[in-house]
Chain A
């Protein structure tokens, strides 16, 4: 399976999730994501980190709710718990500490937290299904170097988790049972020093294996000129777009010129890097289906918000139960299609 297919699918679902605050719809999409990951993940270290993303999602919801209770703006509504407000000195005006917790406010926090958590889980799903290091292989040559750096930065998190587990296990050997802040420190210090020395070792290994190796005598001046042009065009174009008084030609046309310059620079820079791909991933019909499912799911919800925004945003004043509109149900089903067994067989044939 081409890794980009999974990333397109996950991004599509992420877009779909941002279109709605309806917890029922979000929960449906979340269920589809988890289902697909469980059905399709391979036995690789990056796939095992998915559980971590789920835990992270749970933490996000909890923190969002906690923040609402402590410093959130207390919207009027049915009061659940009446915590007295703490008076803050005059320099902190505008910040409210505690205060009555209302059902409306709590639900806003909960829905927002759930949405953010689902976004993170979508990202985790792409990470689990498509090895990020393989995804990098599909980048254009000029972005290869920076892409490698990003991917290594991303893959540090699961590595830290395994390192932490290993170090806790080793420390139990000496009878050390890490607890509390001191326990956290005793694990964190070796994990972080370990991560640092490991990343240095990795960098030196990549260096001596020819990473970021330029072709000798072929520095192209045009690239830097084009990049400067693209940057200038981008800032001028944005200014023109946002400032209503500036002439029209300063907006979109300049932005288009900037984008073209950037693309040309990327192609020229790509010519300076000589690098080939070993057994590149092919893009076939299974990939098309997976990516298509993500795109369709996104389009469905984007279209739904454009035509009938009320159904995807449950009313909070007056309070109402969230509804599941048919279009959301359809979206969740489409999102779950990549998990099906029929599809898996055709994918296997596609790979062979």
Chain B
């Protein structure tokens, strides 16, 4: 049980409080979802619930936080370890040991459980989260999704009464996220565990929530039943957006509930023109929502043939053939560890490439297509740019202005060019801010601006939507489609089906290092139960993917 009693948290040197007068109570056995835009204070609320605020982070906490009858004022986090399990946002940063099995046992060792109990619990959790094959592997060698499962497993082994999780599914593919959430709901329903969970991808979790706490950007909160809170929340999953569009009350939260309500809407849409197969049927280049007038007819800008990547014994990419044309936004999907990142790095040229050939077109007047791996980095970036999974690795100067100026100078652009690009991507990034102090969305925008400044013919993005709220994702989708319309190709890897549905025109599916499917976004996403976005599931057999598609289709019926 968690109780917040008039809690206000102010960090040292902060202009305003991170949380303002927060009062709520989460009874035992509830799954409570914390929502809000990026930087609103979700992490602060979670950290306050497990004692890390203020014991670890510093700052001033007014009011009272009581967890399982223990006031966090008198109990530092280590004294709460037997009742609260914490899963942090970046799982790799929280690992204490080196191998999967030791990590699962670590908390139990600290709590002094008997060795026989530890053995059985480790085995149980290995099975529960499908980690049995990874038990002896070094944690550093696991893929992001596997690490996240280990992080979740390592708190489950000590059987805490309360779980506090910060975006536990952000690195997981849709199927793995379903598994983890199913395991969580089982713990909540069968064992009466209390779960406090922050998440950006509400479409994945909202149906399991018993209560929603919505934090506004000023640090105040509203809490209540999910349907009531979400009905007028700033951040809302597609299902809620659709409900608002169709004026359903109360708001349905699961696809099942929505489908029951959606029959009249489906009938209206079946007759609409926009639901017909796109006019460019078969040519899965651009979806009608993303159609922009291209400056020139599409040309092939990237051609890869028989690409292989091996790391030691692992064969990460096995014989991939791929062509990208200008004007395309292409999504690369596939389960965790299927070789998506390896493929992107190999295409870019600085990652390992065991065999195969990559040819990428250059800017006008740069000659024929060439392999970026054979070029100097500053020349290669005019052809292909990659935004890696941790975009902040690209940044090394101490202000936003300095980063922009360095980029201008390096590519020989007019001073201010990068800054102009940045302003086009997002608003309100102060010039003098340190890049590390920016929100996730702003930092991604800065890196994107730096990479786009060189006007690369091919833009590659590795999991760009981690930690972004819906508004930031919309900005990103718009920026990508603008860049594609200017005659470039965009290839992004993502687990976020809603973002893919919104931004991409073509989808590639990767499994075990091979491309197993390549087609238009509708063909791939609608056909697969795991990859189908919420709107498609609700309106099936009407083939619409996003709320915007529905809005447009409805406008056409009128």
Chain A CB within 8 A of B554 CB: no
Rounded to whole angstroms, the CA-CA distance of A274 and B109 in the bound complex is: 9
Q: Is the CB–CB distance between B112 and A275 below 8 Å? A: yes
B31-82 CB contacts (< 8 Å) to partner A: 50-52, 55-57, 76-82
The 3 closest A-B pairs by CB, nearest first: A210-B81, A205-B94, A278-B105
Which of A193, A208, A211, A280 has most B Cβ within 10 Å? A208
Which of A43, A209, A280 has most B Cβ within 10 Å? A209
Q: B84-92, B182-190, B325-333: which lies at the A interface? A: B84-92
A234-293 CB contacts (< 8 Å) to partner B: 274-280
Rounded to whole angstroms, the CA-CA distance of A208 and B160 in the bound complex is: 12
Rounded to whole angstroms, the CA-CA distance of A133 and B115 in the bound complex is: 19
Minimum CB–CB distance for B222 against chain A, Å: 27
Given A170-B394, A175-B380, A208 and B350 contact (CB-CB distance below 8 Å):
no
Chain B CB within 8 A of A174 CB: yes
Rounded to whole angstroms, the CA-CA distance of A166 and B393 in the bound complex is: 8
List the A side residues contacting B386 at CB < 8 Å: 173
Which single member of B78, B138, B436 contacts A210 (CB below 8 Å)?
Answer: B78
Q: Is the CB–CB distance between A207 and B78 below 8 Å? A: yes
Q: Is the CB–CB distance between A278 and B76 below 8 Å? A: no
Chain B CB within 8 A of A22 CB: no
Rounded to whole angstroms, the CA-CA distance of A190 and B435 in the bound complex is: 11
List the A side residues contacting B96 at CB < 8 Å: 202, 205-206, 209, 211
List the A side residues contacting B55 at CB < 8 Å: 207
Q: Bits for A185-203, please: 1 = Cβ < 8 Å to B, else 0.
A: 0110110010001100111
Q: Which residue of B lies closest to A44 (CB)?
A: B138
List the A side residues contacting B390 at CB < 8 Å: 170
Residues of A at under 8 Å CB distance from B? 43-46, 131, 133-134, 162, 166-167, 169-177, 186-187, 189-190, 193, 197-198, 201-213, 216, 274-280
Which single member of A162, A176, A197 contacts B377 (CB below 8 Å)?
Answer: A176
Q: Is the CB–CB distance between B436 and A193 below 8 Å? A: yes
Given A201-B90, A205-B94, A211-B78, A278 and B102 contact (CB-CB distance below 8 Å):
yes
Rounded to whole angstroms, the CA-CA distance of A134 and B450 in the bound complex is: 43
The 30 listed contacts between A and B (C-beta, < 8 Å) are: A131-B98, A170-B388, A170-B390, A170-B393, A171-B393, A171-B396, A174-B450, A174-B451, A175-B376, A175-B380, A175-B381, A175-B454, A176-B377, A176-B378, A186-B397, A189-B396, A189-B398, A201-B93, A202-B96, A205-B94, A207-B55, A208-B50, A210-B78, A210-B82, A210-B158, A276-B112, A277-B115, A278-B109, A278-B118, A279-B115
Q: Is the CB–CB distance between B93 and A209 below 8 Å? A: no
Minimum CB–CB distance for B452 against chain A, Å: 11
- Kindly count the residue-residue contacts between A and B in the assembled complex, taking CB atoms under 8 Å apart: 166
Which single member of A43, A167, A173, A216 contacts B350 (CB below 8 Å)?
Answer: A173
Chain A CB within 8 A of B111 CB: yes
Task: Knowing that A169-B350, A205-B96 touch, tell me 6 more A-B residue pairs with CB under 8 angstroms.
Answer: A45-B98, A170-B394, A174-B385, A176-B410, A205-B94, A278-B105
Q: Which residue of B lies closest to A166 (CB)?
A: B393
Minimum CB–CB distance for B417 against chain A, Å: 14
Minimum CB–CB distance for A177 against chain B, Å: 6
Given A175-B380, A186-B396, A275-B110, A204 and B56 contact (CB-CB distance below 8 Å):
yes
Chain A CB within 8 A of B228 CB: no
Rounded to whole angstroms, the CA-CA distance of A133 and B110 in the bound complex is: 15
Q: Is the CB–CB distance between A45 and B140 below 8 Å? A: yes
List the A side residues contacting B376 at CB < 8 Å: 175, 177
B333-390 CB contacts (< 8 Å) to partner A: 348, 350, 376-381, 385-386, 388, 390
Rounded to whole angstroms, the CA-CA distance of A196 and B462 in the bound complex is: 25
Dominant SS at the B interface? helix
Q: Is the CB–CB distance between B82 and A174 below 8 Å? A: no
Q: Is the CB–CB distance between A173 and B394 below 8 Å? A: yes
Which single member of B52, B79, B106, B394 contacts A174 (CB below 8 Å)?
Answer: B394
Minimum CB–CB distance for B204 against chain A, Å: 24
Q: Is the CB–CB distance between A211 and B140 below 8 Å? A: no
Q: Is the CB–CB distance between B110 and A204 below 8 Å? A: no
Q: Is the CB–CB distance between B115 and A175 below 8 Å? A: no
Rounded to whole angstroms, the CA-CA distance of A171 and B392 in the bound complex is: 10
Minimum CB–CB distance for B475 against chain A, Å: 21
List the A side residues contacting B56 at CB < 8 Å: 203-204, 207
Q: How large is the interface on B (under 10, 10 to 19, 20 to 34, 35 or more residues)?
A: 35 or more
List the A side residues contacting B52 at CB < 8 Å: 204, 207-208
Chain A CB within 8 A of B246 CB: no
Q: Which residue of B lies closest to A201 (CB)?
A: B93
Q: Bits for B93-128, please: 1 = Cβ < 8 Å to A, else 0.
A: 111111001100111111111110011001000000
Q: Is the CB–CB distance between B393 and A278 below 8 Å? A: no
Which of A189, A205, A212 has most B Cβ within 10 Å? A205
Q: Is the CB–CB distance between B350 and A172 below 8 Å? A: yes
Minimum CB–CB distance for B124 against chain A, Å: 14
Rounded to whole angstroms, the CA-CA distance of A210 and B51 in the bound complex is: 12
Chain A CB within 8 A of B291 CB: no
B489-520 CB contacts (< 8 Å) to partner A: none
Chain A CB within 8 A of B481 CB: no
Which single member of B110, B348, B377, B396 contacts A187 (CB below 8 Å)?
Answer: B396
Rounded to whole angstroms, the CA-CA distance of A210 and B154 in the bound complex is: 12
Minimum CB–CB distance for B377 against chain A, Å: 4
Q: Is the CB–CB distance between A278 and B122 below 8 Å? A: yes
Q: Is the CB–CB distance between A213 and B394 below 8 Å? A: no
Q: Which residue of A lies closest to B141 (CB)?
A: A45
Rounded to whole angstroms, the CA-CA distance of A113 and B99 in the bound complex is: 36
Q: Which residue of B lies closest to A170 (CB)?
A: B393
Chain A CB within 8 A of B407 CB: yes
List the A side residues contacting B113 at CB < 8 Å: 276
Q: Is the CB–CB distance between A209 and B110 below 8 Å? A: yes
Which single member of B76, B381, B395, B411 contacts A207 (CB below 8 Å)?
Answer: B76
List the B side residues contacting A280 at CB < 8 Å: 115
List the B side residues contacting A177 at CB < 8 Å: 376-378
Q: Is the CB–CB distance between A209 and B106 below 8 Å? A: yes
Rounded to whole angstroms, the CA-CA distance of A175 and B397 in the bound complex is: 15
Which of B95, B377, B397 has most A Cβ within 10 Å? B377
Q: Is the CB–CB distance between A213 and B110 below 8 Å? A: yes
Minimum CB–CB distance for B60 against chain A, Å: 18
Minimum CB–CB distance for A134 against chain B, Å: 8
Q: Is the CB–CB distance between B94 and A202 below 8 Å? A: yes
